[in-house]
Amino acid sequence: MRDQLSEIREKGLEAFATAETSEKLESLRQQYLGKKGVLTEILKGLGKLSHDERRQLGQLANEIKRLLLQAIEERKEELLDKASFLELQPDLTIPGIGIAGGGLHPITQMCYDLNDAFRSLNFEIFSEDEITSELYAFDYLNFPPDHPARDTMDTYWLKGTEDKRGAKRLCLRPHLTGASVRYLQQHGAPARFVYPGTVFRNESTDARHERAFYQYEALIVDRDFSFSSGLLLVRTILEKVFGHDVPVRMRAGFFPFVEPGFEIDMQCSVCDGEGCHVCQDVGWIEVMPGGAPHPNVLRAAGLDPDIWSGFYINIGLDRLVMMRYEIDDVRLFRSADLRFLEQFK
Amino acid sequence: MKASLNWIRTYADLPQDITAEQLAHDLTMQTVEVEEITNPADLVEGVVIGRVVTVRQHPQADRLVVCDVDIGQGTTSQIVCGGSNLYENEIVVVAPPGVKVRWHGEGERVELSAAKVRGVVSYGMICAAGELDLEGLFPPSEDEEAEIVDLTELFPDAIPGQPVADVLGLDDLIIDINNKSLTNRPDLWGHYGLARELCAIYGGTLHPFPSIEIPEGTSDYSVEIVDEDRCFRYDAVVFEGIELRDAPFSMRKLIWSVGMRPINVIVDITNYVMLATGQPTHAFDESHVSNGIRVRTAHEGEQLELLDGRHLTLSPTDLLICDGADKAIGLAGIMGGAHDSILPETKDIVLEVANFEAISLRRTASRHHLRTEASIRFEKAINTQRCDLALGLTYQLMAELQPTARIVAAGTHRVRETEAIEIPVSLHFLNVRSGHTITADDAINALEPLGFDVTYDGDDTLNVSVPSWRATGDVDIKDDILEEVCRMIGYENFEYKPPVITLDKPIRQLAKESERAIREFLAFRAGLQEIYTYPWVSDAFINIAGDHTDTLIKLASPPSPDRSYLRGSLIANVLEASVLNSRYYETFGLFELTQVFSQGAVSPSIEEEKLPRQERHLAIALAGVLPFLLFRRLKGILAQLPRFGRFEGWEFKQSGDKMPWADRNAWLKIVNDEGDELGSLGLLSPKATEESGLRIPCLALAEINIEKLVPLQSRDNLYRRLPQFPLVEQDLSIVIDEDVSWAQIYEAVANLVHDAKFVEEYRGEQVPKGKKSLMFSFRLGSDTGTLTAEEIEKLRNRLIKKLRYTLGAEMR
């Protein structure tokens, strides 16, 4: 019996140590230590032995049982350390499973970036309706009747109103600036607000020209607001949008609704002002017109131009987004083509 | 508009070393946008003078000759040429190998190399004008076919080998200015005005304008302005004894270099005067003008043939130049008449120098689609005093270039002069509004070189007198003076200054925040792509969507005839976008949130203005294969939208009329608590699917009026206490009549269980006809302890019993 026990010990230890799987290990445990296991059978047979032998062999058998259990535990841990849920090494170059993909229009994204920047400076967001009248699109903005500047904005007039004048002549807004008068009439001054939206021009289209495009205007009206502060505002906003300081310059420009008017350029980010094909070797890119609201515009808004002044900028978002992603055809924005839009998640 | 720096320099002492880059930069920063600066000498880079030594017939070709040409290199160069006007000792223009020319005046320029032409080697090319882009300067004569440029007469002393650019004097900087940026600067539409501006920028000295006094003793010529609202001044001068020939080369060159075409000495003088002063002038053939000039409005239906051959039918809104016999001879300020302007046989002329009212002239020009060099200048509003500059320069040029011509008569009618404007400006105003420190001297130094007269009271006020050439609408308020001062100081010299701003109110715009939350939910959670479409809709898709055109808004001149209506709903556009994308994708989801328009009379700002109804709508399209699943996906997205979009909730209900585009078995309305309709959703009907050309099995659509949603301050649900004892997950399959809805089942079980959820429906062999099998899941629990198996069984039985009694359900 002693021999049997040492054989069980040897064979058991050997079998446990080499068991390949945890299932195999479990069946070996049953085989040796289960209710009908070989060791259990031996222990059952102990009763027939003398007291001394029973004591000695019992001790030995328990010692072996302890050894075997320990071996099982060790082997279990070894096996667990080596374990994998995957029998074979899978091809880990196979791509992950994607999540359902949607996205905002790239212009909406840019608009929200700007909204966040302006909101952090305590600007309000104002939306004007897309259909407006000649009164707000031109008359209130210091465009004299039949002034050549009206021609630079070929307007979509509404049928049945095209031969009327002023408030009775309706159109798809050719620019956003009229919205500023609406806001100021309603809220008065001081005021700090942005008014983004789509504008429409009756033009022929190509890769750089569109009939519908997205503009973003911001206006501050306050007491004694200076151009120096306006310039700082522009710089702050561009820094927020681009994530780094963007050198800007302001130069003379003419728009009827501002006096003085500016063109605001930013340093070309492709060449850092050295000159390249993007900026046509100028080193600067025209990003926005701006200026101080013309006294006649302030008057139209019910404000006294001797008290109030301000600063306005207009950002063409289509163009800014085109620069951000190097898009070469503006018409893609309104194509509704998902193959294009899906690229801007 | 183009201008020549050489020409400008004749009126001003400017630094000699201005580079093209610097000029472009300085003008752009301080005055107007320069688009491009070019040097005409670049057209003939490497091109030299040649003297033809011998001309002989090409042995292989009838139309070619072989020349030996002296180009100043000791030995002559052999050049094969197709020119028809070659002769010995002719001074010609030679492009040696390595120079780029435009072959036969067509296509891109290509580089020449020594090459055989029909067996004979040619070392370069004797050029025709077109090959060097000089045809404007050397117009080909009408009867010669292959004419090369012959400089023998013009430059007999030119030395072979001399650069052609030097001989012709082409070295210049031509400044191309963006016309739009010149809209408010009529004074810059002539070289003298530009000279003044550049003097102000560079600190140069402006010369007095060259002009001579009107000669005494000329007889009166009758000039009558009938319409005094539209013509403020008219001067007519009659010259006799004109000899029509080419203007001198130097004049032709200047006219050509700024983009106009030299014609003959008289026309060139009128153009030269315009380009110098910005004041257009015109010359009529005197023999066609009887008894003086009358300026009057046209009669309805009156006819006029213009110089460019166009026949106009006029109306009283047009202004005419007529002769004393009331015959129309020109469209005022725009173009002369075909029969009465300068003709080849003209001997005597009537010269017109006049001032016309800008707005009505512009209307006439727009209506007849006529934009001429003259009309472009007049429509910017020119000061009347400029007529004097133009007259003086014309006299001088006539005396110089037409010494035989005599002034025999002159007349003038002056209605009114452009008035000077006085503007008091305070230094305080200039400083506060610019944010820059500006002293009285700074302001004076900025303004005086531009022609403003400034007197300073020594305290705070500058009295600024605006020169007449800036007083026609350009500068009339103190803000205009502010701009002049600031731009001359240069905005780039301004420092950054933080504004003083009071943070008086926090900004909270719930509707705006809700709209953004809606977009972000749809894009980022629901996996849809946002699209933008045009506001004009195709007639075909309006039809499919079933929109009623009688309530839609129409464009007067639409982008295309079949897109004249503006969207009254978003369904048509979103459907069209889906059709487009169905070419590339089988399943996709997209949405658009924007305004739609319909007839109405809304006054957002003032009573007098009545605008159509304009409301923001949201439309969603889901494309896929299994119709009901698609519908349920859409419904699922919409069910979650109020919570994520943070506005008051809504319900789905089949009420009112089915949407015209929807499948009769799959449509719902979206309604609020009060039962008001907010929107709808449905499956696109098979008919609409077929008509639209959709290339995928089916489409589910929804449209919601965003303006009817009520945004919430925050999410509106209340915290629910966590269960003290665990809940157990259960499910149940029942067989019920077809017409029993899930809503009924839910209502029956809702207060017996937690979280009753629809799992699936089944119809098939095991289910009797007229019945359906439905499986749903729910959770059970108790507040007093963990449920035992017996307790669970008891609760399930209660549920089953209720379903049997109320809805006739059987267990599966």
Picking from A28, A15, A194, the residue whose alpha carbon sits closest to that of residue A119 is A194
Q: Can you spell out the DSSP letters for A26-85?
A: HHHHHHHHSTT-HHHHHHHHGGGS-HHHHHHHHHHHHHHHHHHHHHHHHHHHHHHHH--S
Q: How many whole angstroms separate alpha carbon B560 and alpha carbon B547?
A: 19
Dihedral sign, Cα of residue A35, residue A36, residue A41, residue A44:
positive
Cβ-proximal residues to A307 (8 Å cutoff; 6+ apart), any chain: A223
Residue A316 lies in a domain: yes
Q: Does the beta-carbon distance from B584 to A102 stay under 8 Å?
A: no
pLDDT > 90? residue B735:
yes
Cβ-proximal residues to B523 (8 Å cutoff; 6+ apart), any chain: A102, A103, A104, B529, B530
Residue A249 is predicted with a pLDDT of 84
Question: Is residue A227 domain-shared with residue A290, that is, in the same domain?
Answer: yes
Question: Is residue A31 domain-shared with residue A63, that is, in the same domain?
Answer: yes
Residue B148 contacts residue B105 (beta carbons within 8 Å): no
Residue B503 lies in a domain: no
Per-residue pLDDT of B788-811, as tens digits, reads: 999 999 999 999 999 999 999 998
- φ/ψ of A231, rounded to 5, equals -65, -40
pTM of the model: 0.82
A82: left (phi over 0), alpha (psi -120 to 50) or beta: alpha
Residue B655 is predicted with a pLDDT of 92
Question: Is residue B590 domain-shared with residue B698, that is, in the same domain?
Answer: yes
pLDDT band at B42 (very low <50, low <70, confident <90, very high): very high
Which token pair is B342?
Answer: 């300068």
- pLDDT, average across residues B596-602: 95
- pLDDT, average across residues B458-480: 93
Helices (H), B126-190: 164-168
Of A101, A259, A262, Cβ closest to residue B480: A259
pLDDT > 80? residue B632:
yes
Per-residue pLDDT of A267-318, as tens digits, reads: 887 788 888 877 777 788 888 889 999 999 999 999 999 999 999 999 889 9
Question: Is residue B554 domain-shared with residue B630, that is, in the same domain?
Answer: yes
**Chain B contact for A340, CB < 8 A?**
no
Tell me the chain A residues in contact with residue B183 when contact means C-beta distances shorter than 8 Å.
148-149, 152, 254
Query: Cα–chain-centroid distance for residue B674?
Result: 48
Residue A101 lies in a domain: no
| Pair type for strands B536-537 and B461-466 | unpaired
Tell me the chain B residues in contact with residue A146 when contact means C-beta distances shorter than 8 Å.
359-360, 362-363
What is the least distance, in Å, from the CA of A234 to any CA of chain B?
Answer: 10
Per-residue pLDDT of B482-503, as tens digits, reads: 999 999 998 888 888 887 766 6
Substitution target from B181, B479, B597 for chain A, most A beta carbons within 10 A? B479
Question: Is residue A186 domain-shared with residue A129, that is, in the same domain?
Answer: yes
Tell me the chain B residues in contact with residue A192 when contact means C-beta distances shorter than 8 Å.
501
- pLDDT, average across residues B388-409: 92
Q: Does the beta-carbon distance from B494 to A147 stay under 8 Å?
A: no
CA angle B183, A206, B534 (to 5 degrees): 95
Q: How many whole angstroms separate alpha carbon B666 and alpha carbon B664?
A: 6
Which token pair is B752?
Answer: 């017996």
Which token pair is A66?
Answer: 């302890």
CB pairs under 8 A between A and B: 246
Which token pair is A265?
Answer: 């350029």
CATH of the domain at A323: 3.30.930.10
Size of chain A in residues: 345
Tell me the chain A residues in contact with residue B520 when contact means C-beta distances shorter than 8 Å.
104
Residue A95 lies in a domain: no
The overall longest dimension of chain A from CA atoms, in Å, is 128
Question: Is residue B237 domain-shared with residue B117, that is, in the same domain?
Answer: no
Q: How many CB atoms lie within 10 A of CB B138?
A: 24
pLDDT > 70? residue A102:
yes
Would you call the peptide bond into B316 cis, given omega within 30 degrees of 0 as the criterion? Answer: no
Q: How many whole angstroms separate alpha carbon B349 and alpha carbon B266?
A: 9
Q: How many whole angstroms separate alpha carbon B743 and alpha carbon B535?
A: 39
What does the mean pLDDT of chain A come to? 88
Substitution target from B423, B579, B611 for chain A, most A beta carbons within 10 A? B611
Q: Can you spell out the DSSP letters for B263-330?
A: --HHHHHHHHHHHHHS--EEEEEGGG--S-EEEEEPPTT-EEEBTTS-EEE--TTSEEEEETT--EEE
Question: Is residue A187 domain-shared with residue A330, that is, in the same domain?
Answer: yes
Question: Is residue B529 domain-shared with residue B666, that is, in the same domain?
Answer: yes
**Chain B contact for A229, CB < 8 A?**
yes
CATH of the domain at B429: 3.30.56.10
Residue B169 is predicted with a pLDDT of 95
pLDDT > 90? residue A150:
no
Choosing from A82, A117, A146, the residue where a domain stops is A82
Residue A291 lies in a domain: yes
What is the least distance, in Å, from the CA of A334 to any CA of chain B?
Answer: 5
pLDDT > 80? residue B300:
yes
| Pair type for strands B421-426 and B461-466 | antiparallel
What does the mean pLDDT of chain B come to? 92
pLDDT band at A38 (very low <50, low <70, confident <90, very high): confident
**Chain B contact for A196, CB < 8 A?**
no
> How many domains is chain B built from?
6
Provide the Cα torsion B299, B301, B307, B309; round to 10°. Answer: 180
Question: Is residue A200 domain-shared with residue A236, that is, in the same domain?
Answer: yes
Picking from B61, B80, B77, the residue whose alpha carbon sits closest to that of residue B69 is B77
Q: Does the beta-carbon distance from A252 to B32 stay under 8 Å?
A: yes
Would you call the peptide bond into A90 cis, given omega within 30 degrees of 0 as the criterion? Answer: no
Question: Is residue B256 domain-shared with residue B369, that is, in the same domain?
Answer: yes
B605: left (phi over 0), alpha (psi -120 to 50) or beta: alpha
Question: Is residue A199 domain-shared with residue A298, that is, in the same domain?
Answer: yes
pLDDT band at B214 (very low <50, low <70, confident <90, very high): low
| Pair type for strands B611-624 and B698-705 | antiparallel
Q: How many CB atoms lie within 10 A of CB B38?
A: 15
Picking from B531, B585, B487, B266, the residue whose alpha carbon sits closest to that of residue B398 is B266
* The amino acid at B624: G
Interface of A with B in 256-285 (CB under 8 A): 259-263
Looking at the DSSP assignment, which residues form a beta bridge with residue A312? A219, A291
**Chain B contact for A211, CB < 8 A?**
yes
pLDDT band at A151 (very low <50, low <70, confident <90, very high): low
pLDDT > 80? residue B405:
yes
Residue B91 is predicted with a pLDDT of 95
Q: Does the beta-carbon distance from B497 to A229 stay under 8 Å?
A: yes
Residue A153 is predicted with a pLDDT of 66
Residue B582 lies in a domain: yes
Range of the domain at B614: 510-708
Q: Does the beta-carbon distance from A131 to B479 stay under 8 Å?
A: no
Q: Can you spell out the DSSP letters for A105-134?
A: -HHHHHHHHHHHHHHTTT-EE----SEEEH
Q: Can you spell out the DSSP letters for B384-411?
A: TTHHHHHHHHHHHHHHHH-TT-EEEEEE
Task: Please state the three-class secondary structure of B678-743 as a single string.
Answer: EEEEEEECHHHHHHHCCCCCEEEEEEEEHHHCCECCCCCCCCCCCCCCCCEEEEEEEEEECCCCHH
Q: How many whole angstroms separate alpha carbon B580 and alpha carbon A338?
A: 9
Of A136, A156, A341, Cβ closest to residue B555: A156
Please name the residue that has the structure tokens 């100043």.
B72
B742-to-B509, B630, B681, B748, B751 alpha-carbon distances in Å: 39, 18, 19, 10, 15
**Chain B contact for A151, CB < 8 A?**
yes
Question: Is residue A111 domain-shared with residue A30, that is, in the same domain?
Answer: no
Secondary-structure breakdown of chain B: helix, strand, coil percentages, each rounded to the nearest 5 = 30, 30, 40
Q: Does the beta-carbon distance from A144 to B559 stay under 8 Å?
A: no
pLDDT > 90? residue A47:
no
Question: Is residue A126 domain-shared with residue A35, that is, in the same domain?
Answer: no
- φ/ψ of A207, rounded to 5, equals -60, -20
**A177-191, A245-259, B698-712 — which is least confidently predicted?**
A245-259
Residue B92 lies in a domain: yes
What residue in B sits closest to A214 (Cα-Cα)? B532
Q: How many whole angstroms separate alpha carbon B167 and alpha carbon B253?
A: 12
Residue B215 is predicted with a pLDDT of 67
* Helix (H), strand (E) at residue B22: helix B20-30
Choosing from A67, A82, A97, the residue where a domain stops is A82
Q: How many whole angstroms separate alpha carbon B576 and alpha carbon B545?
A: 10
pLDDT > 70? residue B144:
no
Residue A129 is predicted with a pLDDT of 95
pLDDT band at A198 (very low <50, low <70, confident <90, very high): very high
Q: How many whole angstroms separate alpha carbon B593 and alpha carbon B523?
A: 12
Question: Is residue B349 domain-shared with residue B465, that is, in the same domain?
Answer: no
B719-to-B608, B716, B729, B782 alpha-carbon distances in Å: 51, 10, 22, 19
Residue B386 lies in a domain: yes
Q: How many whole angstroms separate alpha carbon B210 and alpha carbon B615?
A: 64
Q: How many whole angstroms separate alpha carbon A264 and alpha carbon A287?
A: 6
Sequence-distant contacts of B14-21: CB under 8 A, at least 24 apart: B14/B195, B14/B198, B14/B199, B14/B202, B14/B204, B15/B202, B15/B204, B18/B173, B18/B202, B20/B173
Comparing B142 with B763, the larger pLDDT belongs to B763
Substitution target from A155, A223, A228 for chain B, most B beta carbons within 10 A? A228
Question: Is residue B467 domain-shared with residue B517, that is, in the same domain?
Answer: no
Per-residue pLDDT of B323-340, as tens digits, reads: 999 999 999 999 999 888
Question: Is residue B57 domain-shared with residue B32, that is, in the same domain?
Answer: no
Comparing B231 with B21, the larger pLDDT belongs to B231
Q: Does the beta-carbon distance from A167 to B609 stay under 8 Å?
A: yes
Range of the domain at A163: 106-344
Tell me the chain A residues in contact with residue B584 when contact means C-beta distances shorter than 8 Å.
338-339
Q: What number is the ipTM of this complex?
A: 0.86
pLDDT > 80? residue B600:
yes
Provide the Cα torsion B361, B362, B366, B367; round to 10°. Answer: -40
Cβ-proximal residues to A249 (8 Å cutoff; 6+ apart), any chain: A264, A265, A284, B29, B491, B492
> How many domains is chain A built from?
2
Residue B714 is predicted with a pLDDT of 77
| Pair type for strands B65-70 and B77-81 | antiparallel
Residue A157 lies in a domain: yes
First to last CA, chain A: 76
- pLDDT, average across residues B30-38: 91
Residue B566 lies in a domain: yes
Tell me the chain A residues in contact with residue B566 when contact means C-beta distances shorter than 8 Å.
131, 172
Tell me the chain A residues in contact with residue B377 when contact means C-beta distances shorter than 8 Å.
none
Substitution target from B491, B495, B516, B641 for chain A, most A beta carbons within 10 A? B491
CATH of the domain at B689: 3.30.930.10
3 state DSSP class of B230: coil
Q: Does the beta-carbon distance from A254 to B184 stay under 8 Å?
A: yes
Of A102, A161, A250, Cβ closest to residue B589: A102
Helices (H), B590-626: none
Question: Is residue B605 domain-shared with residue B643, that is, in the same domain?
Answer: yes
Tell me B505's DSSP state.
-
Question: Is residue A263 domain-shared with residue A116, that is, in the same domain?
Answer: yes
- pLDDT, average across residues B40-68: 93
Tell me the chain B residues in contact with residue A262 when contact means C-beta distances shorter than 8 Å.
491
Please name the residue that has the structure tokens 């919570």.
B643
Q: Does the beta-carbon distance from B612 to A261 stay under 8 Å?
A: no
What is the least distance, in Å, from the CA of A60 to any CA of chain B?
Answer: 47
What residue in A sits closest to B181 (Cα-Cα)? A254
Residue B311 lies in a domain: yes
Of B359, B512, B520, Cβ closest to residue A145: B359
Residue A173 contacts residue A195 (beta carbons within 8 Å): no
CATH of the domain at B72: 2.40.50.140
pLDDT band at A42 (very low <50, low <70, confident <90, very high): confident
What is the least distance, in Å, from the CA of A166 to any CA of chain B?
Answer: 9
pLDDT > 70? residue B143:
no
Of B363, B503, B605, Cβ closest to residue A146: B363
Per-residue pLDDT of B673-714, as tens digits, reads: 999 999 999 999 999 999 999 999 999 999 999 999 999 987
- pLDDT, average across residues A84-108: 88
What is the least distance, in Å, from the CA of A208 to any CA of chain B?
Answer: 17
Question: Is residue A212 domain-shared with residue A67, that is, in the same domain?
Answer: no
Question: Is residue B17 domain-shared with residue B140, that is, in the same domain?
Answer: no
Residue B101 is predicted with a pLDDT of 92
